[in-house]
Structure 1
Amino acid sequence: MSQNTPSKYIHGYLETEQDRLRNQALVIEKPIYDFIDFSKNKKLLEIGSGVGAQTEILLRKFPNLQITGVEYEIRQIAKAKENMKNLGYEAPQIEFVNQDARELSLSKKYDAAFICWVLEHISDPIRVLQSMKTFLEPQAKVVITEVFNATFYTYPLVPAIMDYWKVYNDYQVNIGGDPDVGARLGDLLEETGYSDISLRSGGFHLDSRNSEDKKTVFTYWKNLMSSGAPLLLEEGLITSAQIKAMQEAMDELSERRDSIFYYRFIQATAFA
């Protein structure tokens, strides 16, 4: 998740963050992958493969795939290789290449492509989609899942949470990202020449009827928000007290019977 044009990556590369990415992928696996089918594909190109959090799920669900993961940050590749080795995956089923996704230089073509939580970090996603298309076979299947952070809502609304969330998202914009890029996926794919584009909205609407899932997702989201705290603190955009207040408020909402968690992401399917 770090194929980013900005010089700064809001989540950072600490080991705790690398572990969070794997845990996050597992928490949100079902709403993403229930609508993905790569069972008829053989060679998949994953853009922004990071620590291999999504790669791991792809290989488990679609063992027919051979995956090439493209990642900009060498520290993420090292962690991804370690994770894959521990899970028993090796070449030729999986390989990682250290490249800028805006300027790909690959030795083969692929019949499928996958991007998840990556374009939000890139100031010029059009270049990524154009570069990727060069290495896709005709009618290759493309699935992209991206954030739409403006949809985040809790009941009750807590200023400590929403104020922090605004600082978090404003900073992502300032370093060249787009926390609402999911809403633009249809236009981005259309502009870069992909066809048969379809969009769906997925995510969470959790209340008293699913209290355990709600607790899990509140904790996951607190950790997601906290992952940006070191950089926001370093930039002087937030204080330690504000971070603590956000975290405590999220914990409190996770325990309240009447609390609500709501968030939507956007998933696009298209063909090269």
Structure 2
Amino acid sequence: MRDGYVHGYAPREQQRLQDQARSLADLLHHDTAYPAGARVLEVGCGVGAQTVTLARRSPGAEITAVDISAVSLAEAERAVEAAGFGNVRFLEADLFDLPFAPESFDHVFACFVLEHLAQPAAALERFIRLVRPGGTVTVIEGDHGLICFHPESAAARAAIECQAALQRAVGGDALIGRRLYPLLRAAGLEAVRVSPRMVYVDGSRPDLAESFTRDTFTAMIEGVATQAVEAGLADAAHFAAGVRDLHRTAEPDGMFTYTFFKGVGTRPA
């Protein structure tokens, strides 16, 4: 993958991705399932956070999981092995130079991948070439512009914008969720369906406040603190205040929402 990944590959980031996947599994994947014998390509599998769910929900499918990071792939293999699934094979490769013949797969799946690419449309075109006519492409992305929380905090908003700005600086787009439908349609897919998946957390959901608000989203923002300060986007004290205020939204009297988008399209026959 020829674009930057602002979150890095440290063990804490690997753990954050696993926390995220567990907290969002039902929300994002209650309708993700592939039939027995289906050839499925997961592009940008990372540490296997989504791969485990794919393997669990489609035990008869033949899943090929690809990522450019050898470190992430090693962690993904460990995660899938620990979960006891044997229907996944892993391959280190650049998603812009995948070593597969056209129409090699029945389905392609990509979760939280396009947001990191300067050329998401070009990536989608490559994915589509690998799918047989009548096969599907599934893409899941978030949108940092659709965040609501209480108590409101200008410092927290500024910290979130720092993360979005760092992503833009390396060619990514933290607001790409809202663009899924036009991207999938422009790539040539038919019967495109996009649905919003909103995470809503309040005091009645303490487990989600911990696993998503704190360990997933706030941890992601906190993880770019050094980069944000070094890039001159914020001073350390103000950024730290924003992180504290995000943690505050996970308290019993707080609230946090974030919206993801899931898009599915079919390659024309």
**Is the TM value for this pair above 0.5?**
yes
> 1:71: how far off?
0.8
Q: CA deviation at 1:89?
A: 3.4
Please say if 1:87 is aligned against 2:79.
Answer: no
Listed one character per residue, the Cα deviations across residues 13-42 of structure 1 (whole Å, up to 9, x for unaligned) are: 101111211111101111101232324662
Q: Are the aligned partners of 1:215 and 1:255 in contact in 2 as well (CA < 8 Å)?
A: no
Q: Distance in 2 between matches of 1:242 and 1:41?
A: 53
Q: Aligned partners of 1:189 and 1:28: how far apart in 2? A: 23
2:100 corresponds in structure 1 to: 106
Structure 1 residues without counterparts, runs of 5 or longer: none
Of 30, 34, 41, which residue of structure 1 is paired with 2:30?
34
Distance 2:144 2:183 in 1: 18
Aligned to 1:20, the other structure's residue is in SS state helix
Instruction: Give percent identity, aligned residues only.
Output: 25
Aligned partner of residue 150 in structure 1, secondary structure = strand
1:176 and 2:175 aligned: no
Which residue, out of 186, 199, 202, partners 1:204?
A: 199
Q: How does 1:1-272 map to 2 (within 5 A)?
A: 3=1, 5-6=2-3, 8-39=4-35, 42-90=38-86, 93-106=87-100, 109-219=104-214, 220-257=216-253, 259-272=254-267
Amino acid at match of 1:166: E
CA contact (8 A) 1:121 1:172 kept: yes
Cα deviation digits, residues 108-144 of structure 1 (max 9, x gap): 7111111111100001011111111121111112211
Q: Which runs of 5+ in 2 are unaligned?
A: none
Q: Provide Cα deviations, 1:193-242, integer angstroms capped at 9, x if missing partner.
A: 11110111012233345454344432132112122224324434334323
Which deviates more from structure 2 when the two are superposed, residues 49-58 or residues 73-82? 73-82
Structure 2 distance, partners of 1:136, 1:210, is 40
Question: Is the Cα contact below 8 Å between 2:190 and 2:265 reproduced in 1?
Answer: yes
Q: TM-score, normalised by structure 2?
A: 0.90
